[in-house]
Amino acid sequence: MNKAELVETIQGEFESKAKAERAVNAVIDAIKDGIKKDSKVQLVGFGTVTIKKRKARTGRNPQF
């Protein structure tokens, strides 16, 4: 599910598509701000969003 599909799904709870989109954007912005502040956002019943540093890896060319 992408952002547009999420907006369409929750549109029934709001009076208009624009209000649903503002609600989705508000949630996404709050998660972004929480990650910047604490580097971890935990939503009970949904999941945890964290930032992890990973080592670089060697890619491969699928043509060979």
pLDDT reported for residue 2: 92
Is residue 27 one of the residues assigned to a domain? yes
- Domain containing residue 45: 3-49
Q: Give the torsion sign (CA, 17, 10, 1, 37).
A: positive
Instruction: Answer whether 0.95 is exceeded by the pTM.
Output: no
Residue 51 phi/psi, 5-degree rounding, is -110, 130
Domains: count for the chain: 1
Quick: pLDDT tens for 1-56: 999 999 999 998 888 899 999 999 999 999 999 999 988 999 999 999 998 889 99
pLDDT reported for residue 39: 86
CA distances to 23, 35, 44, 61 from 6, rounded to whole Å, are 11, 21, 19, 35
